[in-house]
Chain A
Amino acid sequence: MAMSFEWPWQYRFPPFFTLQPNVDTRQKQLAAWCSLVLSFCRLHKQSSMTVMEAQESPLFNNVKLQRKLPVESIQIVLEELRKKGNLEWLDKSKSSFLIMWRRPEEWGKLIYQWVSRSGQNNSVFTLYELTNGEDTEDEEFHGLDEATLLRALQALQQEHKAEIITVSDGRGVKFF
């Protein structure tokens, strides 16, 4: 998976890997980290990760620069992402997490827009159709992982724009 991922300038800046004590500086630093995590996971199509993986991943470990973000600081970055709605812990012990480069609500909006545009309100879809169907090939949410999709649909459900139902071989959704 050797992507031509473009690392941001901070990635080559040693202080990036030290949690800054100055509050204003730290704010900027964390914002940069959040953005980096999301773009990294988006490019590598990584929707979930464990903390252990994260520690050793080039994301937090710049081998060339000989700098690693310490695990306590990684936790702080992940917490920031959670607060922003881009991360969800998958277990109580906070060892693995779901990472969503777009928030579920944002995905929900995109999906609903496509549904409305194509005049398919009141239609029923299987989850698979939505993410892997021919009709959605050009859509951004094509190929979206199921966990994220579910959360997107749950967000729409909250807004009474959709309902998650059970179909013959799994789950589906009805749009209103």
Chain B
Amino acid sequence: MDRFVWTSGLLEINETLVIQQRGVRIYDGEEKECCMAILLSQIVFIEEQAAGIGKSAKIVVHLHPAPPNKEPGPFQSSKNSYVKLSFKEHGQIEPGRIKAVGIVGIERKLEEKRKETDKNISEAFEDLSKLMIKAKEMVELSKSIANKIKDKQGNITEDETIRFKSYLLSMGIANPVTRETYGSGTQYHMQLAKQLAGILQAPLEERGGIMSLTEVYCLVNRARGMELLSPEDLVNACKMLEALKLPLRLRVFDSGVMVIELQSHKEEEMVASALETVSEKGSLTSEEFAKLVGMSVLLAKERLLLAEKMGHLCRDDSVEGLRFYPNLFMTQS
């Protein structure tokens, strides 16, 4: 390695100490050597070589060819155009950067690690972001189709139109009310309540005017697609339905089961018809009643329990299960 000149290691007149690094060894090509100097003007560029098992970290310094009037050094000629500097104790120098050992070195290592982790996480979530973009595209697509239907463009029959409209109803809402738009708290819940009233009107009518809150939760979140509602938000919004004079209300049964029912729905009246049904059959379990009437078992049970509370039915609780009978205790002498 002929670019080196022998030196005492002391500063020359017009030189100042910029930085000092311990534990550095100069290699001539692949061979280890001792105290020498290289003029900075000789350096073409510098690259890092990471440390490995049994290998120290290195800085590879690429050099111009030696000038003809160079001071004497360890070698007169060399076939190599680069030298490698090995760092046993870390803290390899980056050109222009103030290096550090000790705590600052540790800090820097931590910083690098954090950046690495960040990168990994970002990569992992790339797929989700792509999914979000696709979902957005789907919503846009259904919106455009909805508009086309509205304008009666394209060749779609009446039936298909109606069918598609119903799919849309159960699938897509434009502009879901989000926390960002309205912030959290009462204002948000009020807006949400109004939106719920709009979404739930038709499904409620289909289901006889009453739905359990879990059914509502599933239906609404399926329709929203993104920006899903938390159960708390749903409950809080539903609590405001009656106060806002919306056409639905939240009702909590004695058992704790929560339902949404249309204002026009009178559960107490349904009880009278439940009594008729039970009387016809002699006795019924919740499941049998649910099947007969076409309700969910949960709501069927609530209706039977309400009938019992009102004194129209009584219960037979045995190993065979829970059956409801007309309340003969009251009607018969």
Collect the chain A residues with CB atoms within 8 Å of residue B332's CB: 9
| B318 and A20 within 8 A (CB) | no
Those of A1-41 within 8 Å (CB) of chain B: 9-10, 13-15, 17-18, 20-22, 24-25, 28-29, 32
- Minimum CB–CB distance from B105 to chain A (whole Å) comes to 75
Known: A14-B318, A15-B316, A17-B316. A25 touches B311 (CB 8 A): yes
Q: A20: which of B283, B314, B320, B323 is its contact (CB, 8 Å)?
A: B314
Q: Is the CB of A32 within 8 A of B329?
A: yes
Q: With CB as the reference atom, state the residue of chain B lying closest to A32.
A: B329
Q: Mark A132-157, 1 if CB is under 8 A from B, else 0.
A: 00000000000000000000000000
Asked whether any CB of chain B lies closer than 8 Å to the CB of A82, the reply is: no
- Contact bitstring B313-329, A, C-beta under 8 A = 1, else 0: 01111101001010111
- Cβ of B302 within 8 Å of any chain A Cβ, yes or no, is no
Bound-complex Cα distance A153 to B202 (A): 76
Residues 284-333 of B at the A interface (beta carbon under 8 Å): 308-309, 311, 314-318, 320, 323, 325, 327-330, 332
Q: How far is the CB of A20 from chain B (nearest CB, A)?
A: 6
Q: From B323, which residue of chain A is reached at the shortest CB distance?
A: A14
Question: Which residues of chain B have C-beta atoms less than 8 A from A28's C-beta?
Answer: 329-330
CA distance A29 to B315 in the complex (A): 12
**Residue-by-residue, is A150-169 near B (CB-CB < 8 Å gives 1, otherwise 0)?**
00000000000000000000
Interface size for chain A: under 10, 10 to 19, 20 to 34, or 35 or more residues? 10 to 19
Q: Choose from B309, B311, B325, B330 the contact partner of A13 (Cβ within 8 Å).
A: B325
B322 nearest in chain A by CB position: A18
A13 CA to B325 CA in the complex, in Å?
9
Task: Please indicate the chain A residues that have their CB under 8 angstroms from the CB of B309 in the complex.
Answer: 22
Chain B residues bordering chain A, tally (CB within 8 A)? 17
Is the pair A18, B308 in contact by a Cβ cutoff of 8 Å? no
Inter-subunit contact B327/A25 (CB<8 Å): yes
* Chain A: minimal CB distance from B110 (Å): 65
Chain A minimum-CB-distance residue to B324: A15
Q: Cβ of A102 < 8 Å from any Cβ of B? A: no
A17 touches B318 (CB 8 A): yes
Q: Are the CB atoms of A25 and B329 closer together than 8 Å? A: yes
Residue of A with least CB distance to B329? A28
A109 at the interface (CB under 8 A from B): no
In whole angstroms, how far apart are the Cα atoms of A21 and B327 in the complex? 12
Judge whether A174 is part of the interface by a CB distance below 8 angstroms: no
Contact A21 B308 (CB under 8 A): yes
Known A13-B325, A14-B323, A22-B309; contact A67-B330, beta-carbon cutoff 8 A: no
Give the nearest-CB partner of A13 in chain B: B328
Given A21-B308, A22-B309, A22-B311: A14 in contact with B330 (beta carbons within 8 A): no
Tell me the A residues contacting B by CB distance below 8 Å.
Answer: 9-10, 13-15, 17-18, 20-22, 24-25, 28-29, 32, 66-67
Further pairs besides A14-B318, A15-B329: 9, Cβ < 8 Å? A9-B328, A14-B323, A17-B316, A17-B318, A21-B308, A22-B309, A25-B311, A28-B329, A66-B318
Q: Which 4 A-B pairs have the closest CB atoms?
A: A14-B316, A28-B329, A18-B317, A15-B314
Interface residues of chain B, those whose CB is within 8 Å of chain A, are: 283, 308-309, 311, 314-318, 320, 323, 325, 327-330, 332
Q: Could you list 20 examples of A-B contacts with CB < 8 Å?
A: A13-B325, A13-B328, A14-B283, A14-B323, A14-B325, A15-B315, A15-B316, A17-B318, A18-B314, A18-B315, A18-B316, A18-B318, A20-B314, A20-B329, A21-B308, A22-B311, A24-B330, A25-B311, A25-B314, A25-B329
